[in-house]
Structure 1
Amino acid sequence: MTDDTADAPLENGSLANGGAEAAPAIRVLAQYVKDFSFENPNAPNSLREGAQPKVDLQLDVSARAMDESGVFEVDLKINARSERDGQVQFIVELVYSGLFQFANIPADALEPLLLAECPKILFPFARQLIANNSQAGGYPPLMLDPMDFGALYASQRVERSGQPS
C-alpha cells in the first residue's frame, strides 16, 4: 500500500510531503460591473446608413489592495465613442472589476500580475458587455480587438521610467 497523501496539496498551496516553498497562487474571487453607461444621444437619426463610423477607444487599468490578506480589486475602464459624419452615434463607458487573491507571490511580480494578467482575465467579459449593448442600441456589435495587456504594461513602464525601449 502506498501513501496517497504524500503529494496531496494543502490549502496554502504547499505539498504535504514538506515541499520547501509554497506554490504561487492566484484566485479570482469575483467579477462584476462596477459602472456602466450606454448613451444613444442622436437616435433614431444616428441609426441611418452612412459613412463608416469612427470609434475612439480609451482603456485604463487600476488596482488597489482591499486588505492585508492579499486581496486586490482590479478595475478595467473602457470608454468608446462612435461618430459618423460628425455626429455622435453612441458612447459606452464601462468599469468592469474583479477581486483577485494572491498567495506566495514575490513583491516584484505583483504589479505585472495586477496590471497585465488580471485585465487579461477580465477583458473578454467586458468585451462581450460592450458588444451586446451596442447591438441592443441598434448598431452592429462593437467587437473590440484583443488587447495585449503585457505589452501595454511594458510600454507604460518605459514611459514612467523615461528610458528608451
Structure 2
Amino acid sequence: MADENDVLTDLNMDPAAGANGADNLPTVGMLNQYIKDFSVENPNAPASYQWTEQPRVDVQVNIAANQVSDEVHEVELKMTARADSDKGNVYLIELAYCGLVGIRNLPEEHAHAFLFAEAPRLLFPFARAIISDAVRDAGFPPLLLDPMDFGSLYQQQLQARAAQQQGEGAPDAPTGNA
C-alpha cells in the first residue's frame, strides 16, 4: 500500500502543500474570454461594392496585459484589419478581444511569458474568427488570417530589448538617425 507521500508525488503535488493545506503550487489558467471593444466600418458602401481592384489589406496585432487583482490579469489582443483601394477605404475593423488570466505562485519571468506569448496564442483563434465573420458580414470575402507564432514573436521582442539595452550601455554607441 502506498503512503501519503507516494500518492502526492503521483499527483504531482508537493507533500508539504498537501500536508498543511497550503496553496503554493504554480497555477495558471484562462478564466474568461470576451469582446471588450468591436467596431466595423464600411464607409464607402454601396460604392465600394462596385470597385473591381483588389484592395490592399493591412492587419495590425498588439498585445497588452493589465493586472486586475493580485492573481488576475487581463490580456488584450487588439487587432485592426483595414482594406484600402485607390478609390478609398473599403473597410476598417477594430477588435479588442480579452481574456482574464489567473496566475498564482508563478515566478515573474514565467508569468510575463504566459501573459505575452501563451495567452495571446489561446485568444487568437477566437479573435481571428470574429474578424473573418465581420469582414464577411460587411459584404466582402472573409479575411482568412494565418496562425501566428506568439512564442517566437515574444522571443524576438526579448532579444531586441536585450540588444537595445546592451547598445545603450556601450560607451561609444552611435546616437541619432542614420
Q: Given the two structures, how large is their TM-score scaled by the length of structure 1?
A: 0.84
Unaligned runs of 5+ in 1: none
Equivalent position of 2:13 in the other structure: 14
Q: How many residues align?
A: 159
Partner of 2:42: 40
Cα distance in 1, alignment partners of residues 16 and 7 from structure 2? 9
Identity %: 41
Following the alignment from structure 2 to structure 1, what is the Cα–Cα distance between the partners of residues 87 and 133? 24
* CA pair 153-61 structure 1, distance change in 2 beyond 3 A: same
Note if contact 1:14-1:22 (Cα within 8 Å) is conserved in structure 2: no
Contact 1:75 1:95 survives alignment (8 Å) = yes
| Cα displacement (A) at 1:144 | 1.3
Q: How does 1:67-82 map to 2 (within 5 A)?
A: 67-68=69-70, 70-82=71-83
Amino acid at match of 2:13: S
Quick one: distance in 2 between partners of 1:90 and 1:145?
Answer: 19
How far 1:115 sits from its partner (Å)?
0.5
Q: Is the 8 A contact 1:59 1:78 kept in 2?
A: yes
**Residue 127 of structure 1 pairs with residue 128 of structure 2:** yes
Structure 2: give runs of 5+ residues left out of the alignment: 168-178
Match of 2:55 in 1: 53
| Partners of 1:45 and 1:141 in 2: CA distance | 19
Query: What does 1:48-127 correspond to in 2, within 5 Å?
Result: 48-68=50-70, 70-127=71-128
Q: CA offset at residue 14 of structure 1?
A: 3.0
CA distance in 2, matches of 1:19, 1:34: 38
Q: Secondary structure at the match of 1:6?
A: helix
80-89 or 123-132: which moved more?
80-89
Structure having the higher Rg: 2
CA distance in 2 between counterparts of 1:108 and 1:81 reads 34
State the secondary structure of the residue aligned to 2:161.
helix
2-side partners of 1:101 and 1:129: how far apart? 24
TM-score (norm 2): 0.78
